[in-house]
Chains A and B, each alone.
Chain A
Amino acid sequence: MSAADTGRRTSRTGYLLLLPGLLWLVVFFLVPTIQLAATSLYDPSGSLDSGYAMTWSFSNYWDALSTFRAPFLRSLLYAAVATVLALVLAYPLAYAIAFKAGRWKNLMLVLVIAPFFTSFLVRTLAWKSILSDNGFVATTLQVLHILGPGGRLLATSVAVVTGLTYNFLPFMVLPLYASLEKIDLRLIEASSDLYADALTSFRKVTLPLSMPGLVAGTLLTFIPAAGDYINAELLGTPRQYMIGNVIDNLFLVQLDYPAAAACSVVLMAAIVVMVLVYVRRAGTEELV
C-alpha cells in the first residue's frame, strides 16, 4: 500500500544520509579498532619490517599486564581521583549556574568554557609554571608547612592529578548543569516545604534528579583522563607515567605493535567494564 511505499522511500533517503558518515567511522574507527584487537594477538617476535604473524598469542596480554601493571593501576587511580575532585569542584559551580546565577547564567556558562579555548598543551604548560618550585603555590604551602622545605609539587602525583582534574573539568560541569537546569524549581521548593532542611531536600530531591548529568559527567571525565598521557609527561616524571605514556612509547619509539595493541585493548576493556558496572550501579541507562 501507499503507506508502506512512503516508508520505503524515506528509509532509502535515510540510508543515503547515513552512508558517508558511517562509512568514515567504519573505515577509520571500527576497522582500526578491530585490527588493533587482532594485532594484540600477533607473534611478538615479529617486527614492523619483517611483518607479524597471527599466532593468537594471548600471552601478549599477560606480558603487558605484568610488565606494565604499575602504570595501569596508576592510570585508573589518577583518573578516579581526578574524577572525584572534578565532581566536587563542578557540582557547586553547576548548581550555582543553574539556580543562583539569574541573569548572569549565560555569562557564567561562557566563563566555564572560555579557559578551554586556549590550547590544551599551553594550559598544561601554564600549570607547570604555577606549580613550579618557586611558584606562589609551592611557596605558600611551604610557609604553611603543608609542604616540607624543599618539597615539590611539580613532578609529583599531585601535579599530574591537578592537571587531569583541571583539563577535564568542563566535561563534568556541562552535563551536570544540563541536568540540574531541567529540574523544576518548584520540586525543590515543595521539598523544602516538606523536609524544611536544605541539606535533606538536596539529598532527597536535587541530587537524585541530577543523577543523569552526574553519570554522564563522570564518564566524560574518567575516560579521557584514564587514557591521557600529556599531564603525566609535562607535569610528572617517568615515576608518574600512565598507561597512555606506555602505549605511546611502545607504538612510536619501540615499535612493538603487539604489546602496544595489547595495552590498548586492556585499557579499552577496563574502561568498558568500569563504565558498565558504574552505569548499572548508578541506575541509568542513558549514556548520552
Chain B
Amino acid sequence: MSRVGRWVTEHAVMAVAMLVLVYMFLPIFYVVLMSFNDQGRLAYEFQGFTLANWEDPCGPSGMCGAVVKSLQIGFLATLGATLLGTLVAFALVRHRFRGRAATSLLIFLPMATPEVVMGSSLLALFTSVGLSGSLGFWSILVAHIMFCLSFVVVTVKARLAGLDSAMEQAAMDLYANEWQTFWRITFPLVFPGIMAAALLSFSLSFDDFIVTNFNHGNTVTFPMYVWGAAQRGIPPQVNVVGTVMFILALALVLGGSLLQRRRPA
C-alpha cells in the first residue's frame, strides 16, 4: 500500500500536472494556429494555412490603433499605479500611523470587488459630475490606476516586509545617510518587487475589458476592439497580436529570470 501510494505521488501527480498545463496551453495553441488561418466567412474554424495575416497585421481598420492606445494606457497606468502603490507600501511597512486597519481594508477591497461593480460605479460617478460626455483616454487611465494600485501595494509590501531592516541599519552604520541608504540599499533590494508589480499592472491594464467598457467613451483599446469585432466575426490578425503578445511576454519573463539567476538577489 505504502509503495503504491509512493509511486502514485511520485508519478501520477506530475502526469496530472502536465495534463493541466496542456489544458492551459490549449487556447494558446489555437491562437497561434488561427493566426495562420486562411479565413473565409466562418471566423472560428480553421480553413487553411496562410501567412497573409502575418504579412498584413494592421489590415483590419482600427486594430493597430487600438493596440497602440492600449500600450499607451498600459504604460501610463503602470507608471502611476507603481509610483503611488510603492509609496503606500513603504508607508505600510515602515511607518506608524493612525487608521492602519481602515487603510488595509481600503487597499484590499478593490481586489475583492467584481470588476463590473467597479466599472459601473465609476461610470455613475463620472455621470453624476457631468463628465459622461467627455469620457475617453483619461477616464480609462484613472480607472486602470485605481484597480492596479492595490496589486502594486500587495506585491511591493511583500518584498519590503521580507527585507531585513538590519541591512539599512548596517548602511547607516557604515556612514550612509538616509538618502544614500535608500538609494544604495533599500531601493535596489526592493526593486525586483517593484518590477514585478509594474509587470502585473501593465498586464492588468493592457488586458482589461470590463472596467474599460464602462468608462471608455469613444476611445477604443485593444480589448474593446476585439469585443466589437467579436460581434461580427474577428479578423485573424487579432490572433497575430495575441501570438506576438504571448511571445514577447514569455521572452521578457524568461529573460528576467535568466538575469536573476546570474545575479542572485
A and B: real partners? yes
Q: Which of A121, A166, A251 has the most CB of B within 10 A?
A: A121
CB atoms of B23 and A166 under 8 A apart: yes
CB atoms of B95 and A11 under 8 A apart: yes
**Which of under 10, 10 to 19, 20 to 34, or 35 or more describes the interface residues of A?**
35 or more
CB atoms of A121 and B21 under 8 A apart: no
CB atoms of B27 and A7 under 8 A apart: no
CB atoms of A96 and B214 under 8 A apart: no
B238 in the interface (beta carbon within 8 A)? yes
User: Which secondary structure dominates chain B's binding surface?
Assistant: helix
**Which of under 10, 10 to 19, 20 to 34, or 35 or more describes the interface residues of B?**
35 or more
CB atoms of B250 and A229 under 8 A apart: no
Contact with B along A120-145 (1 / 0, CB 8 A): 11110111111010110000000000
CB atoms of B121 and A128 under 8 A apart: no
CB atoms of A17 and B88 under 8 A apart: yes
CB atoms of B112 and A275 under 8 A apart: yes
CB atoms of B203 and A48 under 8 A apart: no
B172 in the interface (beta carbon within 8 A)? no
CB atoms of A110 and B254 under 8 A apart: yes
Stretch at the interface among B54-62, B163-171, B183-191, B239-247: B239-247
Chain A residues near B128 (CB-CB < 8 A): 35
CB atoms of A36 and B245 under 8 A apart: no
A273 in the interface (beta carbon within 8 A)? no
CB atoms of A198 and B142 under 8 A apart: no
Bound-state CA distance A268–B234 (Å) is 33
B96 in the interface (beta carbon within 8 A)? yes
Chain B residues near A18 (CB-CB < 8 A): 87-88, 91-92, 97, 103
B131 in the interface (beta carbon within 8 A)? no
CB atoms of A36 and B120 under 8 A apart: yes
A219 in the interface (beta carbon within 8 A)? yes
Instruction: Using known A-B contacts A21-B149, A92-B17, A122-B241, determine if residue A264 contacts B45 with beta carbons closer than 8 Å.
Output: no
Contact with A along B36-48 (1 / 0, CB 8 A): 0000000011100
B158 (CB) vs chain A CBs: closest residue: A288
CB atoms of A126 and B246 under 8 A apart: no
CB atoms of A21 and B113 under 8 A apart: no
CB atoms of A115 and B222 under 8 A apart: no
CB atoms of A135 and B45 under 8 A apart: yes
Bound-state CA distance A232–B38 (Å) is 28
B226 in the interface (beta carbon within 8 A)? yes
B193 in the interface (beta carbon within 8 A)? no
Chain B residues near A115 (CB-CB < 8 A): 24-25, 27-28, 246
Q: Which 6 A-B pairs have the closest CB atoms?
A: A227-B114, A14-B95, A198-B5, A117-B249, A96-B17, A126-B27
Q: Return 10 A-B CB contacts under 8 Å, by A number.
A: A14-B96, A18-B92, A28-B142, A35-B124, A97-B17, A110-B254, A120-B209, A129-B30, A223-B114, A268-B117
List residues of chain A with CB under 8 Å of any chain B CB.
7, 10-11, 13-15, 17-18, 20-22, 24-26, 28-33, 35-36, 39, 48, 89-90, 92-93, 95-97, 100, 106, 108, 110-123, 125-130, 132, 134-135, 166, 169, 192, 196-199, 202, 219, 223-224, 226-230, 234, 243-244, 247-248, 251-252, 257, 260-261, 264, 267-268, 271-272, 275, 287-288
